[in-house]
A and B are shown apart, each in its own frame.
Chain A
């Protein structure tokens, strides 16, 4: 669908038709004190060459491509097959929205149905929604869902859950009277299960844990689920690095009740501010409390396969203030890219990608921990991220690396004040061995 702005002639005709002389007269009923009284401060129109120059200048402010980056922490750089850009740029697909008259857009609904199927296969869950805005939102919706399901008023949040996810959970629940309590991490980098056990009680609706967690450490999800269930609390598992699902056991197989997370790794480049792709899935018995849109497969009057938006009675346009969420859409275009990405790679391709991440991160951790004064902070098994403890303040070391053209990771002090000398690094299949060796050399020089 193309967008063509109204011409002056169109406007004049429209005004004439309704019998109004001017736009000012049309809005004449508005009280003067509500009117702006000046023109909007919008830059003047540009010619095409001017426009290109101004966008080039804007793009040049992005310095990321000039650095060799080991930043991760919720946003990951992965290979994107050419099919993803090619197919997702087709004009039929270029919309971020679920269609308002959904059943006329069978292609869009089929893509969403395939996306939901893939999310269920990867998470080991029964039902996936049509996607949410990002992983942080998905985590917050997971907490709200748990609270609706068992009407208890406290939620336990692993401190090893992404700090921005925790922040979003706080924002979403601020006016709901929900008490949030954090559960710390131990020397292995994973959740302290004894602390979890001690904090669980009849007032706890659920526990949210991330795996691999913010430090890259793979949590003992089976144990967390077991402890939660023994207290009739729900186990919510967040996944911020979706590629890990290519090799780790699915949260559903461990008995998770709700799985939520971020699928930016599936075909979306790391961008400043996004776009991201939240996913959310649950057990069938919790279906009525799942927020967001759902696409279902059905048959038309002639018995042909078709797709519909289904179970809409959970949603705001029907259920009003009792709806499961105020989301009335999904992240359709990003979900499309994730679908093409996964269907291009296939089961074996995603597994291969995950294996490469695992091996390269293991090599990087081993190589970097050999640098004098540097050690691996946590003893737990990790996927493609790990924490290094440096012999001095982490940010100072990162600044020195940046001067050498390297983004050496994220200083953790900003989110964990006690981790002053610790840095979080991410290594994916997009890092050749040479890049890792380059970082080791630079780190050795900086720490000399």
Chain B
């Protein structure tokens, strides 16, 4: 069960709104398919991102994937703990494995994203 207070993208990012702030991470499905995460390239604080802009990249033993911004906004905080412990993304992708916090430019960006229920149905489609 995916947390119901978050919204989801087709690229397997989650975003949890907290007032003006959006916390962003990758989903359990994403970490599971990447395998052991060995490195994450975090964005610089102050970086301004459009929807779907590249936040950074995430690297597992044999692959690299980009992380895309689910909403538009400015990076206000990054989870620098991941620099030393990238495996937290595998262990707790929806909690301690959060990647960055954005100050949202337009909260309406959230409306087009999937709810937990939508995302679970979307995953069923992928598995099928």
Contact = CB atoms under 8 A, between A and B. Distances in A.
A322 B59 CA distance: 13
Contacts of A313: 39, 59, 62-64
B41 interface: yes
Specify which of A313, A319, A322 lies most central, judged by the most chain B CB atoms within 10 Å of its CB: A313
A288 B64 contact: no
B41 A318 contact: no
A319 B57 CA distance: 11
Interface in A287-341: 288, 313, 318-319, 322
B39 A318 contact: no
Q: Name the prevailing secondary structure of the A interface residues.
A: helix
B41 A288 contact: yes
Name the interface size band of chain A.
under 10
A319 B41 CA distance: 14
A319 B39 contact: no
A319 B62 CA distance: 10
A319 B66 CA distance: 11
A322 B57 CA distance: 11
Contacts of A322: 57, 64
Name the interface size band of chain B.
under 10
Contacts of A318: 62-64
Interface in B33-58: 39, 41, 57
Contacts of B57: 322
Contacts of A288: 39, 41
A26 to B, nearest CB: 37
Interface in B14-43: 39, 41
A313 B57 CA distance: 11
Contacts of B39: 288, 313
Contacts of B63: 313, 318
B67 to A, nearest CB: 13
Interface string B56-81: 01010011100000000000000000
Contacts of A319: 64
A271 B65 CA distance: 44
Nearest to A287: B39
A157 to B, nearest CB: 26
A313 B65 CA distance: 10
Nearest to A323: B64
Specify which of B57, B62, B64 lies most central, judged by the most chain A CB atoms within 10 Å of its CB: B64
A319 B63 CA distance: 8
B61 to A, nearest CB: 9
B2 to A, nearest CB: 28
A318 B39 CA distance: 15
Contacts of B62: 313, 318
B80 to A, nearest CB: 13
A299 to B, nearest CB: 16
Interface string A244-288: 000000000000000000000000000000000000000000001
A313 B39 CA distance: 10
B72 to A, nearest CB: 20
A313 B59 CA distance: 8
Nearest to A312: B62
A288 B63 CA distance: 14
B41 to A, nearest CB: 7
A318 B62 CA distance: 8
13 contacts: A288-B39, A288-B41, A313-B39, A313-B59, A313-B62, A313-B63, A313-B64, A318-B62, A318-B63, A318-B64, A319-B64, A322-B57, A322-B64
Given A288-B39, A313-B62, A318-B62, 4 more contacts: A313-B39, A313-B59, A322-B57, A322-B64
3 closest Cβ pairs, A-B complex: A313-B64, A313-B59, A319-B64
